[in-house]
Amino acid sequence: MKCRHCSTPLEHSFVDLGHAPPSNSYLTLEGLSRPEKTYPLKVMVCSECWLVQTLDYTDAGELFDADYAYFSSTSSGWLAHARRYCEEMRSRLKLDERSLVIEVASNDGYLLKNFLEWNIPCLGVEPTASTAAAAEALGVPVIREFFGDALAGRLRAEGKQADLIAGNNVYAHVPDINDFTRGLKTALKAGGTITLEFPHLLRLIQQVQFDTIYHEHFSYLSLNAVNRIFKTAGLKVWDVEQLQTHGGSLRVFGCHAEDSRPVTPAVSDLLETEIEAGLLSLKVYEDFQGKAEQVKLGFLDFLIEQKKAGKRVGAYGAAAKGNTLMNFAGVKPDLLPFVADAAPSKQGKYMPGSHLPIVTPDVLREQKLDYVVILPWNIAKEVRENLSYLAESNTRFVWAVPELTIS
């Protein structure tokens, strides 16, 4: 395989998490009796442009199909994050009824509904039917396609170039990152702004966040890699913010390369920080496999110890990162009988690979558990607040990444 950006042959492994089904391919009861398709979950690093990327194995259409079960609006914290972003962009970019906002991977309308409220024209691009339908029910216009340069060219021909293109947690999900980035340039009005949010590779490495690796993520991004990809497409990164979302993310601000806006010191500072942390050399990548295995073993030791002691353990949050952890660790219902989740789209289904049944949060109250494992550790604070009633039965909370923590 060659690098998705610069075509350099890929020779260096970052981490190998074995074989697993796609992390959002939740199963029905009937599906449990059928063969389950799995794929290698192996990640490589390019020694030329330092783009970290999964090995090729299947197309995006198989991952993001009509039954795709991730709805952004399930998390109140994420809704609040989106609202703050929209308020900031409205003020900073002086967006009004003459502007156009395009969101790529608009999901269920969680973000664009804010611009609708202010009568700012917007357009969502969302290929998954279930989430697109939810957005349309809110009044958000949606194009049900994958975004790329061809679609962007059609939008430009229709006079639909954007003052703001937003992409939250989509840049890592695109198999052809060069075509996607060219599309951003094509769809962007002169003087317009691109913002992309994505988990920061530096945080993934520092906090051993291997569970954020799954098939739907084709790339794991540093600012150095994104800066290079933008330059190749005729864009420039002119600002960057470091966020706490998803365990540590970046929000990059892009524009046309010829735009007069100066590059802020935050960009050069973070580029240098990444270099000092070793992201442009192989050693930090070669050491990651062993660290991931230590986290896995610590989590398994905990579950086995509780099983032997007769303790009652359940889990909360049927998130993709939970699926990666379950399948890498080989956890089955004998060690973790169920996972509760607030999303109706997941309830009554089963986690891919591990086959843990997904139940409603009410089950947590009924079971009187000794421990609840929070699988989406990045929203542990929100989960603990929502489940604060479990303190009455002395239930303790546990999460595995970056190290086993019992609270």
| Per-residue model confidence (pLDDT) at position 387 | 95
With 60 as the cut, is the pLDDT of residue 249 above it?
yes
With 60 as the cut, is the pLDDT of residue 58 above it?
no
Q: Count how many residues are written for the chain.
A: 407
Mean pLDDT in residue range 149-158: 98
| Per-residue model confidence (pLDDT) at position 61 | 54
Q: Which domain holds residue 359?
A: 288-406
Mean pLDDT in residue range 125-141: 94
**Domain count along the chain:** 1
| Per-residue model confidence (pLDDT) at position 63 | 55
Band the pLDDT of 93: cuts 50, 70, 90.
Answer: very high
Mean pLDDT in residue range 115-132: 95
Mean pLDDT in residue range 345-357: 96
**Average pLDDT over the chain, rounded to an integer:** 94
Mean pLDDT in residue range 207-235: 96
pLDDT in tens, 263-295: 999 999 999 999 999 999 999 999 999 999 999
With 80 as the cut, is the pLDDT of residue 67 above it?
no
- Within a domain: residue 309? yes
Question: 291 CB contacts (<8 Å, ≥6 apart)?
Answer: 208
Q: b/e per residue, 12-34, with b = 16+ CB within 10 A? A: eebbebeebbbbbbbbeeeeeee
Band the pLDDT of 56: cuts 50, 70, 90.
Answer: confident
Mean pLDDT in residue range 86-111: 96
Percent of the chain past pLDDT 90, that is, above it, reads: 87
Task: Specify the range with the lowest mean pLDDT, choosing from 13-17, 298-302, 392-396.
Answer: 392-396
How far apart (Å, rounded) are the C-alpha atoms in residues 32 and 401? 29
How far apart (Å, rounded) are the C-alpha atoms in residues 347 and 362? 11
The CA dihedral of 172, 174, 178, 184, to the nearest 10 degrees, is: -90
For residues 197 and 387, the answer to whether their CB atoms sit within 8 Å is no
- Within a domain: residue 316? yes
Q: What's phi and psi for 313, nearest 5 deg?
A: -125, 135
Q: Which residue has the higher pLDDT, 58 or 44?
A: 44
- Within a domain: residue 330? yes
- Within a domain: residue 182? no
Q: Rounded to whole angstroms, what are the CA distances from 220 to 144, 147, 236? A: 25, 19, 19
Mean pLDDT in residue range 39-55: 96
Mean pLDDT in residue range 223-237: 98
Mean pLDDT in residue range 157-161: 97
With 90 as the cut, is the pLDDT of residue 159 above it?
yes
With 90 as the cut, is the pLDDT of residue 59 above it?
no
| Per-residue model confidence (pLDDT) at position 245 | 83
Entry pTM = 0.89
Question: 200 CB contacts (<8 Å, ≥6 apart)?
Answer: 221, 222, 223, 242, 248, 249, 250
For residues 55 and 40, the answer to whether their CB atoms sit within 8 Å is yes
- Within a domain: residue 63? no
With 80 as the cut, is the pLDDT of residue 74 above it?
no
Band the pLDDT of 260: cuts 50, 70, 90.
Answer: very high
Q: Which residue has the higher pLDDT, 165 or 76?
A: 165
How far apart (Å, rounded) are the C-alpha atoms in residues 188 and 190? 7
Burial class (CB in 10 A: 0-12, 13-18, 19+), 156: middle
Q: Assign residue 337 the CATH number of its domain.
A: 3.40.50.720
- Within a domain: residue 263? no
| Per-residue model confidence (pLDDT) at position 295 | 97
How far apart (Å, rounded) are the C-alpha atoms in residues 163 and 199? 24
How far apart (Å, rounded) are the C-alpha atoms in residues 71 and 132? 10
How far apart (Å, rounded) are the C-alpha atoms in residues 116 and 123? 10
- Within a domain: residue 139? no
- Within a domain: residue 61? no
| Per-residue model confidence (pLDDT) at position 391 | 86
